[in-house]
Amino acid sequence: MTDVHVMQPFGGPIVGVPDVPGSKSQTNRALLCAALAEGTSRLSGILFADDTEAMLEAVISLGAEIEADRESASVEVKGIGGDLRFQDIVIDCRSSGTTSRFLLPVLVAGKGNVVIDGSDQLRSRPFDEQIRALRSLGCSLTETRAPGELPIEVVAEGVNGARVEISGATSSQFISGLMLAAPLYTGGLTIELTGTVVSRPYLDLTVNVMNDFGVVVEQPDESTYVIQQGSYGCADIEIEPDASAASYFFAAAAITQGKVKVDGLHRDSCQGDTQFVEVLEKLGAKVTWGKNSIEVQGDRINGGTFDLQDFSDTAQTLASVAAFAESEVEIKGIGFIRVKETDRITAIVSELTKCGVEVTETSDGVIIKPDKWRLKGASIETYHDHRMAMSMSLLGLRVPHIEITNPGCVAKTFPNFFSVLEKLRPSAVPLAEAVAVAAIDGPAGSGKSTVARALAVELNLPHFDTGAMYRAVAVAALRQQIDASDSGAIAALAETVDIKISEKTIVDGIDATEEIRGAEASHLVSVVAANPDVRRILVPRQREWATELGGGVMEGRDIGTEVFPDAIFKVFLTADLQVRAKRRFQETADQTLDDVLQDLKRRDHVDSTRDDSPLEVAPGAVIFDTSNMSAEAVVSELAEMFRLRVEG
């Protein structure tokens, strides 16, 4: 049976300081430099995950001595001083692109025979560019399975460096590997990049780490790196928190309207993926750059176009954030991520589409056209890609029934990701300290009334049908034959009409329980609810209604946005239009199904486009698709979410 992690929506804003592990990129560069150095290096704050364990095993096989303290996230590395000698060994790089692509140029500088291999996933990733570059330097490399792929058999006899050309458009890892190996080559190496360079911040990171270990990298221009023959010296290095991993928590703050701070990252961090918070800032989040921290506070998510060429590992994260945006988001400059752990562009399109998001693939990215009404749960295929698992799980912070298949793939870079995320779940609010309002909004036919009444019973709380107030005014207007276009007369009526709502709805002393659900009232209520003067009169009554009783389950179309924007628990119920029409058709005797369908379309348009308090998903609200669920099942899940938010 496939392993599955089912996300449980948070039902509130995420708040906290997550324990983000060390940077994979910095860790693997530092481990290799330390292993090649003369003397003992000390690395603190490193990442212990599958990718870095692969590098640790690899450098041990090359002769480096390692003392690891996993509890303190530190290692001591006694290096080999550049003396690379091996005989008929096989290095298993697991699924680690950095380990394999950093090691291959290093191995050819040694003496002996070695095979470099990895998992089926790594075997499927391309090595063509690096192989061609190394062969141009006279290196003996043989692909034993398929051209341009692992396994690769190396007969190493040292390298005369000189000059090499390599494309910058495929993977920065190929270039970084050549840079890391260059001091071991006789005469050093000049690397000339061709084409558009992707992920340049990772090349900058390589230069910084090499500098930390005493190797100077000259850059006469943007497309040239010159490294002289030399040796690495030992060093004491503090590894930064992984900026790519931190992006998930920054995104979670944006999605849930929460606040997250990550210590150890700052504006001058050596990792390019810190640029992701600048994208969130442009989308509407508030970003605070501390001396040694970055804090993101979420707000409404805008749209925009973003080029992620230099920090593409956050593309999937941004795609998940975009699902909750107010307008279109285009992610471009990432065509090369089709050859990562999986074809990440195709994966983004496939999995977001399952969740009700409209996504279009472009030549170098995706265009996401969000419609929060359509968001729904789905079983997410991760393709054994850790970044798919972590980024797509963010949808589950607000959308029920998001299931992450093969969640264990996160072990590649962040083994305890799900537990760290869960620790940021909002703490329960003591009931005595809050007006415990469960705000339930949604379009007609989504099940609001049925679910809200049953939820109130389940939670032993009062039930408030604010829509019934507007319907009552509509009934009063129909009784007095007031023209629907006479907004002033309807507002005046709202000021004077006597409305009592409990088990029955009484309008001016007459039972209107059935009348408010009739076709005429249903047709008029959107006009009444769109009248700003009517809303000005009724909204304060709704607030007083709930506050006097200390809370309750309040339903309507603007409860979480206008009436109680600070409600402890906000839900937007939705359902497929056809499903909603069938539900409404079963409740009426004087309309055809098509009549009901057309009326719902009209009401959706009127409600969502009105100038005053349009129907929209409240910021941070749980978006719950009820299309294929019974009211009892919906109530059960909502009750559990509410109890997690309220204590007592």
Residues annotated catalytic, as ranges: 313
Measured distance CA(576)–CA(574) in Å, rounded: 7
Question: In Å, what is the CA distance from 444 to each residue of 38, 469, 556, 578, 581?
Answer: 72, 15, 10, 12, 9
Here the tokens at position 42 are 């000390």
Here the tokens at position 81 are 């001083």
Count of CB atoms situated within 10 Å of the CB of 117: 18
CA dihedral for 555, 558, 559, 561, sign (positive or negative): positive
Q: What is the end-to-end Cα distance of the chain in Å, rounded?
A: 39
Here the tokens at position 343 are 């074809």
Strand 463-465 relative to strand 160-167: parallel, antiparallel, unpaired?
unpaired
Q: Are 433 and 422 in contact (CB under 8 A)?
A: no
| Residue type (1 letter), 590 | D
> Which of 186, 182, 274, 291 shows the shortest CA–CA distance to 226?
182
CA dihedral for 260, 263, 266, 272, sign (positive or negative): negative
According to DSSP H, which parts of 480-576 are helical? 487-496, 519-529, 532-548
Measured distance CA(537)–CA(521) in Å, rounded: 19
DSSP states along 273-337: GGGHHHHHHHHT-EEEE-SSEEEEE------EEEE-TT-GGGHHHHHHHHTT-SS-EEEES-GGG
> Which of 186, 82, 179, 75 shows the shortest CA–CA distance to 130?
179
Count of CB atoms situated within 10 Å of the CB of 53: 17
Spell out the residues 6+ positions from residue 391 whose beta carbon is closer than 8 angstroms to its own.
Answer: 248, 251, 316, 317, 319, 320
Q: Are 341 and 383 in contact (CB under 8 A)?
A: yes
Measured distance CA(102)–CA(177) in Å, rounded: 4
C-alpha 604: how far from its chain's center? 29
The 3-class secondary structure across 551-585, one letter per residue, is EEEEEECCHHHHHCCCCCEEEEEECCHHHHHHHHH
DSSP states along 388-454: HHHHHHGGGGTSTTEEEESGGGGGGT-TTHHHHHHTTSPPPEEGGGS-EEEEEE--TTSSHHHHHHH
Spell out the residues 6+ positions from residue 329 whose beta carbon is closer than 8 angstroms to its own.
Answer: 283, 303, 304, 305, 306, 318, 321, 322, 367, 368, 370
Here the tokens at position 133 are 């570059």
Please tell me what DSSP assigns to residue 525: H
